[in-house]
Amino acid sequence: MEADDVGRTVLRKEAAAIVETAERLTDAFGEVARLLANHPGKIITCGVGKSGFIARKVAATFTSIGKPGVFLHATEALHGDLGICSPGDPVIFFSRSGSTGELLVLVPLLKQLGAKLIAVVGNVRSDLAKQCDYVLEGFVDEEADPLALLPTTSAITALAIGDALACAVVWLIKFQKEDFLRFHPGGQLGRNLLLRVSSVMHPFPQVPHVSPDAAIRMALIAMTENPLGACCVVGEKNELLGIITDGDIRRLIRKTENLQGIRACDVAYAHPRKILPSASLGDAIALMESGPSQVGILPVVDEHGRLLGLLRLHDAYGHGPSA
């Protein structure tokens, strides 16, 4: 067995474990999702070891949808961090065995605070599961590593349950893209939602363009003077008729020694992907990266098909001069 065979085996086992978990999902999942969606305060997550890392990630996911998630360190909780928990805050425990001593010690203390306790566990008959108000089963037959010891399938299954809860809450609270933007104003996520194509594109005067009957040499000159990676072919009213990319030119030169007599319309692709200037940057990126082949250049047109500008994938990701 080669290393890539091990990798495929691990991925298949983890995928199968998640599918099996989905089949075992009970009404308790919906009850927990509604509890979390309706709670006005914090959502506490708790775990030890690798389960602790899963708990941290799930808390961060809830925070990103406007439901403040806080990770509670099981040991530090006994030395002051229990003050994180307000009365009534729900607590999600993550544990494969359900017998983690540090978590069991917290159960009565959290109950005194009126917390609803949720166990995401691999063993539904464990002490932790028996003492919690809700139990979500994350049982796995075996770990995916060659030794069947590393927390692999168990960890990814617990994470998937946490993600599923967050997504269910998104649906229940009718969380929208506009809400998402409020919590993610920076980085590429913020750019994708906040910026319009018109604010990032290269405007028409900067875009290399020629008429359909222009010699291919003229397209080459236009692309050299304004090196954006493409030349647009436009009609008399600037309507977009096609596009010639750097790659098109290279392929033409490779197979044709004499370029004399070749016109722009002979080389241009007549049905390029295009977008309106009012579209979001996220929609533009999705359009460029969709389908069997990614494109790096996107003509920007108005509702009548007239060329207004050119958007490069490089610019969309904030690396170009117009960003």
pLDDT bucket at 323, cuts 50 / 70 / 90: very low
Tokens of 94: 């993550």
Total domains, the chain: 2
- Buried b / exposed e over 64-92, threshold 16 CB at 10 Å, is ebebebbbbbbeebeeeeeeebeeebbbb
User: 20 falls in which pLDDT band (50, 70, 90)?
Assistant: very high
pLDDT for 319: 60
Q: Residue 192 falls within a domain, yes or no?
A: no
Give the structural domain span for 92: 3-175
115 part of a folded domain = yes
Between these two residues, 182 and 129, which has the higher pLDDT value? 129
Say yes or no: 64 and 118 in one domain: yes
* Interacting residues of 213 by C-beta distance below 8 A, sequence separation 6+: 263, 264, 265
* pLDDT score for 180: 77
- Whether 148 and 288 map to the same domain: the answer is no
Mean pLDDT in residue range 55-69: 95
Residues 89 and 20 in one domain: yes
Q: How confident is the model at residue 183 (pLDDT cuts 50, 70, 90)?
A: confident
| Mean pLDDT, residues 1-5 | 87
Residues 102 and 148 reside in one and the same domain? yes
pLDDT (tens digit, 9 = 90+) per residue, 97-120?
999 999 999 999 999 999 999 999
Do the domain assignments include residue 182?
no
Q: Which two tokens stand for residue 60?
A: 């961060």
Task: Give the CATH number of the domain where residue 205 resides.
Answer: 3.10.580.10
Residue with tokens 């799930």: 58
| Orientation of helix 153-172 relative to helix 27-38, angle to 10° | 60
CA distance 45 to 119: 10
Q: Show the beta-strand stretches assigned E in 90-141.
A: 91-95, 117-121, 134-137
If asked whether residues 169 and 202 sit together in one domain, one would say: no
Residue 117 in contact with residue 85, Cβ under 8 Å? no
- Identify the domain boundary among 121, 144, 175: 175
Q: What is the pLDDT of residues 22-40, one digit of tens each?
A: 999 999 999 999 999 999 9
Beta carbons within 8 Å of 102's beta carbon, 6+ residues apart = 48, 74, 75
User: pTM of the full predicted structure?
Assistant: 0.70
Q: Give the phi and the psi of residue 304 in degrees, each rounded to 5.
A: -100, 5
Question: Residue 1: its pLDDT value, please?
Answer: 72
| Same domain (yes/no): 43, 112 | yes
Q: Average of pLDDT values for 155-167?
A: 97
Please name which of 234, 210, 222 lies closest in space to residue 308, comparing C-alpha atoms.
234
Residue 321 has pLDDT above 60, yes or no: no
Q: Is 256 a member of any domain? A: yes
- pLDDT tens for 242-282 read 999 999 999 998 888 888 889 999 999 999 999 999 998 88
Confidence bin at 195 (pLDDT 50/70/90)? confident
Domain assignment present for 321: no
CATH code for the domain in which residue 121 is found = 3.40.50.10490
- Identify whether residues 13 and 135 lie together within a single domain: yes
132 lies in the same domain as 223: no
